Structure 1
Amino acid sequence: MKRKGSLAIFLLSLFLYVVACGCFPLETKNRWILDKKSGQRVKLHCANWPSHMETMLAEGLHKQPLEYIVAQLVVKQQFNCVRFTFSTYMWTKANYRKRTVAESFDLLNLTEAKAGIAKNNPQFLNMTSVQAYEAVVDELGRHDLMVVIDNHVSKPEWCCSENDGNGFPGDKYVHRQEWLRGLLMAASHFRGKHQVVGIGMRNEPRGPFSNPDDWLRYFTEGAKQVHRANPDILVIIAGLSYAQDFTFLKKKPMKLDIDNKLVLESHWYPWSWGHNKYWRQQDMNKICPQLTQFYIDQCAFVNTGDNAVPLFLGEFGLKQSEEVPSDHDHWFSCILAFAADIDVDWGFWALQGGYYFRQGKVDMDETFGVADHEWRSLRNPKVEKRLQLVKRKNIDPASTNPMSYIMFHPQSGSCVQHRNDSTVYADNCHTFSRWNYDAESGQIKLDSTDLCLNVVGDGLPPVLSHCTCEHSRWKPLSDSKLMLGSKDKNGEYLCLHMDDRDCPTILTRKCIGIDHCSGSREDENEDPTAQWFKLVKTNT
């Protein structure tokens, strides 16, 4: 019976990751995206897949069969959604819309890539750009994946820069009426395709013509037209300044009634707002909460308060080299703790292992890609492990289950589990132990038991034991509140700690960067992220 029960729990947890289609259309209520029929929450955890470049074809079809890419690199990695980009010209200009895939590759002299498509996906060569785009959407639907079609650019090319002429109505390539016509053509074309759950109206609005007043006017009117063209899909609108600024809505809220279909989109990278230099520093207990609050003030405030709307973190990502650069690693630990905390909907940049043609370079590698350069396997499995918990729907406003906590270590992507011998260890987040935390008493209690987490000593594993002693009182320490510390027999704080992110051992060690008696900040020269353990709420 015990083994059957464990299997049932595992299958339920897996369901919470992979459930996708069958819940359409979607709608919004306050900060949540919901299945309109059942009222249950649907969480988008998407992979970004570009199809907006000069070839107007989903990247990677020269490397692997489409079915392989979708099954092995999207479904198997437990993404439930693809943010699938397109260019306006693909819809609005006949010479782009009717151009076949073969013709596009011939125009760019992409002989080897064309031969790769002939080998792996020959059916695409004689398709027009729109037919090829739809064929990928259909394949995603066959795998029960949701699709957000995203208007990335007008002229097909790499995005983005401040003066590329491709960012906002008024720019060289962005004519307002043509932009709207392209959105309406795309929205109408996919009306009735249940897998297409949303449309992004424009990627990263920016440039010399972008401003709050025109943003409000253009996107309000455009959203109404798109909604009339396809009333089933979510209408997703990105903020100004590369999807990094909604502050103007604090003074002048968006007045838009499109039947509970509005979602706002933001992006956050290590370099956003010029913050990349801060992530190179060691005092992450100070930097992380400060820059997280900055992101909240700029963007994430929209999903709070009486007028909350869903926030879609449409792009975030990092360099997936074998050894992730320290600034990207710090940022990723911080954003994962925040994303898990608010259980935000998101899109990870990016799926592609490389490009047919990008910025004048043939077969360019994508170091941010989930896929390796040959689209055969994962570029960095450790990065994908760190995404496991945020791929899970942790909060459902319709749930009647009691709230508990998951103990999450963002640096490794591990969740804390318990053994029958009263010890704890770190493992992947497909399964995890549930915990109850009482801030007043400081007790971290194993759910449905009378056992609490206790500190034993410096360099020793914590244990599950009685809840009555001083060593079972834990306190979130530092400005980040991501370090969980308890006092040892000498009255010094020891924090949960992982020496090796690839090892399951959890210890308690002297807390990095704090005074060990008071819990206040002391030493700013060590990296504390090995000691970050986030208590993440869940009722699913």
Structure 2
Amino acid sequence: MEAMLVEGLQFKRLDDIVALIVKLRFNCVRLTYPIYMFTRYANLTVQQSFQKLDLKEAITGITQNNPSILNMTIVEAYVAVVDSLIAHGIMVVSDNHVSQPGWCCGNDDGNGFFGDRYFDPQEWLQGLRLAAETLKNKSHVVAMSLRNELRGGHQKEDVWYQYMSEGAKLIHQINPNVLVVVSGLSYDTDLGFLKNRPMGFNLDNKLVFEIHLYSFSHNGRGWMSNPLNTFCASSNQGFEDRAGFLVRGQNSTPLFVSEFGIDQTGADESQNRFLNCFSTYLTENDFDWALWALQGSYYRRDGMINSQETYGVLDSNFTSAKKSNFLQKFELLQTKLQDPSSKQTTSFIMYYPLTGECVLTNEKNQLALGGCSRSYRWSHEKDGAPMRSIGSKLCLKAVGDGQPPILNEDCSSQQSAWKYATDAKLQLASTNKQGQALCLQSDPTSGLIVTKSCMCLNDAECREDPQSQWFKLVPSNAYSSSLSTNGRWIVEATTGQRVKLMCVNWPGHMQAMLIEGLHLRPLDNITASVAKLHFNCVRLTYSIHMFTRHANLTVQQSFENFDLNEAIAINNPSILNLTLVEA
């Protein structure tokens, strides 16, 4: 953007914002920059940049929260952000977003394609070279993206091949360890031309393509006006045709979905439908991705100071996520599902995109929704085959309309045969004894999954909203690995790869029976410091009596003897009413 500094530093300390990124379970940040930052403004300080834009209030906030940043040059500040991300274990994709600093994107903004007003190809290559040289010794800068969203009336495929090839090879020459990310045409929504003319090189297996998709990318109004099953299937197939094909076949290449997103306030139902649909495709293919965007507001955007970003995960003050259920919604998307080195048999997770949850079972062998890390695994050989619970002899059986399906040993009746009900492949259906198709559906009243008459069996004519019946079988051969031993080594149980424990001791066994320091700092800040110090493990101590004699004692009750409640109430108020075991 115009200020050429990551957003939010007037509200929060840089390390605190990065700690929030960790807390939200992102392992990577796509960190954007303009070419001119390196080629024209490299010696400009942050304070000078903000003064030029008359951002007095932001300067005051940065002075309070990040005083060391103000006197840095904007390039030094960019590196400082990289260093903070690296210190917290976050990977960085450095992305050239524009040349002239400012909001992206428009067809006629001069930043769109090679030869446009602000897009001189030679200055672009110079900027890429300077950026690559600046970052080449940063090991957690794992990728460099050549250019965001090429667009406009001057687009030509031959020119794309010429300059994208030149830029990719330049970065690889400077830093052969970094991935080089190449975007497509038409706002980076189209890589289809690569079907007929591949890039012709793979940079020693360092070449990655990127693609974008939003609800409005192709007929955005259709999410509300068209039959939803049909429109979702068409949208996902269109993405496959324009980009997804790159991950198929013998000559497959990685595809990075480097932008997608929605209004995080939840107010736009068409965007909600888009995300529910697209997440089934993303999880089924286990794509790498980057969500637009972190920031809840901008220093300045299109001349407006403190402009709000509804697509931002964080609120406008960079305090917390806008959506309280963000982690639930994105849990499966943030999970590694497929691993080419895994020796595990592929099974299926039953995913419910409407909430982001997955299917679990209760003590009565009934289905319910819950966290995807605890989800049941299923085998399902083909449409019409039984759905078997992995590790048991039980199969899923439909009982009747409005009734919860059950797990039992009947794996041969028609009620235990499951298939996708429509071409959209989003509704899992069996039949009752009378041959009626019954689809899985979440019942919010009971909290169980039941079978109900299938909606929208004739996709092309249906105007109902079938999302309560959307369940996707997501393939996975990657399991949360426990640890094992191999001779003298500690290893991952599933892969056999060595795990080196680099731990720090954190006492919780003292008289108060609570880990130390919570009267001084918020818990999340302390754990962020653990990560920043590059520990990958904590030896967390406890006393036996905490479990055998004091399990029902609250933290507040324990601490009353030490007159420490006031300090904990300031820094960790939610801890006080927990029992010691809960804490």
Q: Say yes or no: does 1:129 pair with 2:77.
A: no
Aligned pair partner of 1:216 in 156, 161, 165: 161
Q: What residue is the counterpart of 2:476 in the other structure?
A: 538
* Unaligned stretches of 5+ residues in structure 2: 479-583
Give, in whole Å, the separation in 1 of the partners of 2:401 and 2:153.
Answer: 57
1:140 and 2:78 equivalent? no
1:61 matched to which residue of 2? 9
Q: Secondary structure at the match of 2:220?
A: helix
2:179 is the alignment partner of 1:234: yes
- In the TM superposition, residue 490 of structure 1 has moved relative to its aligned partner by 2.5
Report the counterpart of residue 37 of structure 2 in structure 1. Answer: 90
* 1:420 counterpart (348, 356, 363): 363
| One-letter amino acid matched to 1:92 | T
CA shift, 1:295, in A, is 1.2
Match of 1:529 among 457, 461, 467: 467
- 1:452 paired with 2:399, answer no
Q: CA deviation at 1:521?
A: 4.3
Question: Which one-letter code corresponds to 2:475 in the other structure?
Answer: K
2:405 pairs with 1:462: yes
Q: Which residue of structure 2 aligns with residue 488 of structure 1?
A: 432
Could you tell me whether the CA contact under 8 Å between 1:282 and 1:527 is conserved in 2? no
Misfit runs of 4+, over 6 Å: none
1:32 matched residue in structure 2? none
Q: Equivalent residue for 1:293?
A: 237
Distance 1:88 1:503, change over 3 A: farther
Contact 1:424 1:463 in 2 (8 A): yes
Q: Do residues 168 (structure 1) and 106 (structure 2) align?
A: no
- Pairwise mapping of residues 135-284 of structure 1 onto structure 2 (< 5 A)? 135-273=80-218, 275-281=219-225, 283-284=227-228
1:503–1:379: structure 2 CA closer, same or farther, 3 Å change rule? farther
Q: Does 1:393 align with 2:336?
A: yes
TM-superposed deviation, 1:257: 3.9
Does the 8 A contact of 2:386 with 2:412 survive in 1? no
2:328 matches 1:380: no
Q: Give the residue type in structure 1 aligned to 2:32.
A: T
Deviations 1:206-225 (A, max 9, x none): 12322100000101111111
Q: Which residue of 1 aligns with 2:559?
A: none
For 1:241, what is the secondary structure of its paired residue?
coil
Deviations 1:476-528 (A, max 9, x none): 1112111001111322111111244x9842121111112xxxxx548612011
Following superposition, the deviation at residue 325 of structure 1 comes to: 1.8
- The separation in 2 between residues aligned to 1:112 and 1:504, in whole angstroms, is 48
TM-score, normalised via structure 1 length: 0.86
Compared CA separation, residues 437 and 418, structure 1 to 2 (3 A): same
Scaled by the length of structure 2, the TM-score of the pair is 0.80
1:76 equivalenced with 2:23 (yes/no): yes
Aligned-partner Cα distance in 1 for 2:446–2:188 = 37
> Match for 1:289: what amino acid?
A
Moved more, 401-410 or 503-512: 503-512
Amino acid in structure 2 at the alignment position of 1:62: Q
Q: Do the aligned partners of 1:427 and 1:504 also contact (CA within 8 Å) in 2?
A: no
Q: Aligned with 1:334: secondary structure? A: helix
Question: Secondary structure of the residue that 1:162 maps to in structure 2?
Answer: coil
What amino acid is aligned across from residue 165 of structure 1 in structure 2? Answer: G
Distance 1:261 1:468, change over 3 A: same
Give the match's secondary structure for 1:243: coil
Match of 1:17 in 2: none
Alpha-carbon distance in 1 for matches of 2:236, 2:127? 35
Distance 1:499 1:222, change over 3 A: same
Structure 1 residues not aligned, in runs of 5+: 1-52, 515-519
1:307 aligned to 2:254?
Answer: no
Residue aligned with 2:403, SS? coil
Give the letter for the 2:334 counterpart: K
Residue 420 (structure 1) shift: 2.9
Contact 2:128–2:171 (8 Å) recurs in 1: yes
- SS of the residue corresponding to residue 272 of structure 1 reads coil
Question: Which stretch of structure 1 is more off in the superposition, 134-143 or 430-439?
Answer: 430-439
1:317 aligned partner, one-letter code: G
Q: Does 1:479 align with 2:423?
A: yes
**How far, CA to CA, are the matches of 1:126 and 1:472 in structure 2?**
68
Percent sequence identity is 43
> Which deviates further from its counterpart, 283-292 or 382-391?
382-391
Instruction: Give the deviation of 1:442 after TM superposition.
Output: 2.0
Change (3 A) 1:338 1:257: closer
Deviation at 1:368, TM superposition (A): 0.4
- AA aligned opposite 1:305: G
CA distance in 2, matches of 1:164, 1:398: 45
Bigger Rg, which one: 2
Letter in 2 for 1:535: L
For 2:81 and 2:57, the matched residues in 1 are separated by: 21
Given that 1:168 and 1:174 are in contact with CA atoms closer than 8 Å, whether structure 2 keeps it comes out as: yes
Looking at structure 2, the residues matched to 386 and 154 of structure 1 have their Cα atoms a distance apart, in angstroms, of 35
**Paired residue for 1:48?**
none
Q: Aligned match of 1:105 in 50, 59, 79?
A: 50
Q: Secondary structure at the match of 2:169?
A: helix
What letter corresponds to residue 66 of structure 1 in structure 2? L
Partner deviation per Cα, 1:234-283 (whole Å, 9 max, x = no partner): 0000001110111222222211241111000100000113x201111352
**Paired residues of 1:434 and 1:446 also in contact (CA < 8 A):** yes
Quick one: which amino acid aligns to residue 23 of structure 2?
K
Output the CA distance in 2 between the equivalents of 1:253 and 1:468. 48
Q: What letter corresponds to residue 250 of structure 2 in structure 1?
A: D
3-state SS of 2:281 partner: helix
Pick 1 or 2: higher relative contact order, CA cutoff 8 A, min separation 6. 1
Displacement of 1:122: 1.2
CA gap 1:458/1:254 in 2 versus in 1, 3 angstroms: same
* Structure-1 residue corresponding to 2:581: none
Give 3-state SS (helix, strand or coil) of 1:474's partner.
Answer: strand
Q: 2:436 matched to 1:498?
A: no
Farther off after superposition, 383-392 or 346-355: 383-392
Contact 2:383 2:419 in 1 (8 A): no
Cα separation, partners in 2 of 1:324 and 1:512, compared to 1, 3 Å: farther
- Opposite residue 527 of structure 1, the aligned amino acid is D
Give the match for residue 432 of structure 1. 375
Tell me how far 1:324 sits from its aligned partner.
3.7
1:8 matched residue in structure 2:
none
**Kept after mapping to 1: 8 A contact 2:146/2:183:** yes
Matches within 5 A, 1:7-18: none
Per-residue deviation, residues 311-336 of structure 1 (Å, max 9, x unmatched): 00000000111x44221111111110
CA change 1:440–1:375 in 2 (3 A) is closer
CA distance in 1 between counterparts of 2:443 and 2:319 reads 32
